[in-house]
Amino acid sequence: MTKDIRQGEFDLSLLRGGPLYGLLVRAGIARPGRAGFVLRILFFVALTWIPLALMSIWQGAFLPAGIKVPFLYDFAETCRFLFVLPLLIIAEGIVEPWLSHVITHCATLVSEADKEKFKHNIALAIRSRDSVPVELLLILLAFIRPHVGGLALSAGISSWRTLTTGAETAPTAAFLWYLYVAKPLIALLWFRWLWKYLIWSLLLFRTSRLPLRVTPTHPDRMGGLGFIAIAQTNFAVLYFALAAQAASFIGEEIVFEGAKLMSFKYLILAIVVIAPVLFLTPCLAFSSKLIESKRIGLLEYGALADRYTKDFHEKWIEGKRDDNEVLLGSSDIQSLADLTNSFEVVQSMKSVIISKATVVAFIAASLVPFTPLLLTVYPFDELLARLLKMVL
């Protein structure tokens, strides 16, 4: 049975729902407001970075005591657990309000005849959010997936991950915790984000199939659907987290293994290109609506312009008007200008609800984390000197 959802009261907490989130709520960790975000961040950091640090101290792998990469110097993992992990949680507060805003506003564009189908689509998204089998599958993927990869950065480079006693090398307790607890936990957060984003994308697609009221003269040049792209832009915070994680690992390869930044140029390019493709593709589902609305709008406003300009010509050019009417002060000229502006808005209507600003936001979010790596190519003083030379 479809839930009874009134306009403005849509139960669309896609990011705050699900069985795992329910457990955190019952445990008093997932509270509403800022306190809830802080508690969840502290909870996950307490299960990931803090045990790794304590175990590394216990086994003498925290500080550089004969180890090339002690835990304190492993900035890739520090970035993973102290920056990316909190950002994945904070992102919920950034993205979710916009999701509810989009659906609430879309409700005003759906006719009464299609309201029930619209509500059904929302209820379907909520059921997917609360699916226990899916959540269990995500947990399995995170914790029982094969753990591949060496115990050190490369042969000959000692790190906090391994403990050498005589001729034998064994994984440290910290690395075992990292492999079977800490890393799977952050992987689970990523998997849940991917699942929620898939639910959202499918909901957008189903909404685009409904006969929405698209206004060809809307000033956003997108038929009044531009707010959807604005909401999608908020997902850039997720890609910023992903790019930051990638940049930290590239930086570690450069610092500890002597790799060159240019050897990663294609990887960085791929990350930058994938961002707008991944997050803006769902917006293309509304293109058919925009194209059809523009076609009809050109016909209707063209016919209106034809009638008005014909009457205007007969009245003011051919003189078919009352003798007491004068052109000066007449509203006919302003009406003609307004009609012209309306027709030009229809003519300039876009076929996609994607603006340049939206694309730039995703490209910037994927590029900014890599900018510190320029310091591995140019020292800061040399880079600053070049910038000053360019500006001054």
Q: Tens of pLDDT along 232-248?
A: 999 999 999 999 999 99
Angle, alpha carbons 276-125-243 (nearest 5°): 25
pLDDT in tens, 329-340: 678 888 888 889
Report which listed range, 138-147, 328-337, 345-354, 373-382, is most confident.
345-354
Residue 348, classified by CB atoms within 10 Å of its CB into exposed (0-12), middle (13-18) or buried (19+), is exposed
Interval 298-315 mean pLDDT: 90
Residue 72, C-beta contacts closer than 8 angstroms, at least 6 positions apart: 56, 62, 63, 64
Average pLDDT over residues 9-29: 77
**Which pLDDT belongs to residue 147?**
55
* % of the chain at pLDDT higher than 70: 89
Of 354, 282, 115, the C-alpha closest to 211 is 115
Q: Across the strands, what pairs with 170?
A: 163
pLDDT for residue 149 is more than 80: no
163: phi then psi, degrees, rounded to nearest 5: -125, 120
pLDDT tens digits, residue range 152-206? 444 456 789 888 766 677 889 999 999 999 999 999 999 999 999 999 999 999 9
Band the pLDDT of 146: cuts 50, 70, 90.
Answer: low
| pLDDT recorded at residue 315 | 82
Q: Are 7 and 118 in contact (CB under 8 A)?
A: no
State mean pLDDT over 375-379.
76
Question: What local confidence, expressed as pLDDT, does residue 150 receive?
Answer: 44
Q: How much is the average pLDDT of 106-119?
A: 92
Looking at residue 163, its pLDDT comes to 81
Residue 375 confidence (pLDDT): 81
Q: Find the mean pLDDT for residues 109-123.
A: 92
pLDDT at 181: 93
Confidence (pLDDT) at 238: 95
pLDDT band, very low/low/confident/very high, at 66 (cuts 50, 70, 90): confident
* pLDDT value of position 1: 34
Average pLDDT over residues 321-329: 68
Q: Please tell me the predicted confidence (pLDDT) of residue 329.
A: 61
Instruction: Taking residues 238-263, report their average pLDDT.
Output: 92
Q: Is 227 exposed, middle or buried (0-12, 13-18, 19+ CB in 10 A)?
A: middle
What whole-number percentage of the chain has pLDDT above 90? 60
Rounded to 5 degrees, what are φ and ψ at 168? -105, 140
Whole-structure pTM value: 0.87
Mean pLDDT on 52-71? 90
Residue 298 structure tokens: 């050109």
Question: Which pLDDT score, from 0 to 100, does residue 2 have?
Answer: 39
Q: Nearest Cα to 305, choosing from 345, 272, 271, 250?
A: 345
Task: Name the average pLDDT for the chain.
Answer: 87
At residue 380, the pLDDT reads: 64
Summarize the confidence of residues 30-35 as an average pLDDT: 82
pLDDT value of position 5: 43
